[in-house]
Amino acid sequence: MFTGSSVALLTPMTRQADGSTQLDLDAWDRLLTWHANAGTQAVVVGGTTGESGTLDHEEYVQLLTHAIERLKGKMWVMAGTGSPSTAHTIARTRLAASLGADMALVVTPAYNRPSQRGLLAHYRAVADASDIPIMLYNVPGRTAVDLLPETAVALAEHAKIVAIKEAVPDMDRIATLVQAGLAVFSGDDPSFAQALRQGAQGVVSVAANIVPQTVAELCRLAQTNDWVAVREQDAQLADLYTFLGVETNPVPAKWLLAEMGGCAHAIRLPLVELDSKYHERGHAILDRLRPVPPQ
């Protein structure tokens, strides 16, 4: 099991003359190499930040295949496989395993709002059918259902369910999950340093799309229990964390990465590009942080 910084990777696209978008696989490969060199320990392909809801089957396979070919043996490749349908989630998880993914990141089923009993049945069915380890993903602000700690702890009894990405910034919850033996990864950038202090093994970060070296270093400092340095580094990123929430993720993150030269200014409907009223603020953050751009 990896520890430290993992990135919920953005999906670079280009806009065509007719207004449609298509994958930019050259930019994708550059981003993968950038993260491998920056100290990122794992990448999530086809997650929420990667605009998973708008990717078709062929695009998903292309992204995942490129990531596995480029990164296998260097860092973990996690495939976002969750969906509102248990059958579709199982099929996507099996596909990811067949392509060589190291782990499946399985978000709680969105919109249909299953009960805790339903979540237990859903995840157990997915884990029973999976040939790769499962990381649970709880983000109730997106899915309208909360995977409660006691449910996650019960799921951890399954041999294939080994970790959780917890996006609820509740440190008591993080501590409970850690004490139950789950490998906990924060899914909330503004509180992830606190989660590390509670025993989380790392973060699945949106901010790492912009400052991968800094997020990786912050995780390394936490592993050495240098909490003074952790607080100092984390405070330097506070403005970035806030900016990444001014519009729906991944809109602000993709705009920042495009301004750095990492991808084009293209995002897929129903999302639209960042409102111009935030541009000056975004430029000020980049000017202050001076992140190393992808090459």
Q: Under a CB-based contact definition with an 8 Å cutoff, are residues 104 and 76 in contact?
A: no
CA distance 256 to 243: 10
Residue owning tokens 């993080």: 174
Preceding omega of 250 cis (within 30 degrees of 0): yes
String of DSSP letters for 14-75 = EE-TTS-EEE-HHHHHHHHHHHHHHT--EEEESSGGGTGGG--HHHHHHHHHHHHHHHTTTS
Torsion sign (Cα): 241, 243, 246, 252:
negative
277 is catalytic: no
Catalytic residue among 60, 160, 165, 254: 165
Catalytic residue among 123, 137, 160, 254: 137
Q: Which of 73, 76, 55, 51 is nearest to 273 (CA)?
A: 51
137 is catalytic: yes
Torsion sign (Cα): 64, 130, 50, 72:
negative
CA distance 140 to 144: 5
Please give the positions annotated as active site. 137, 165
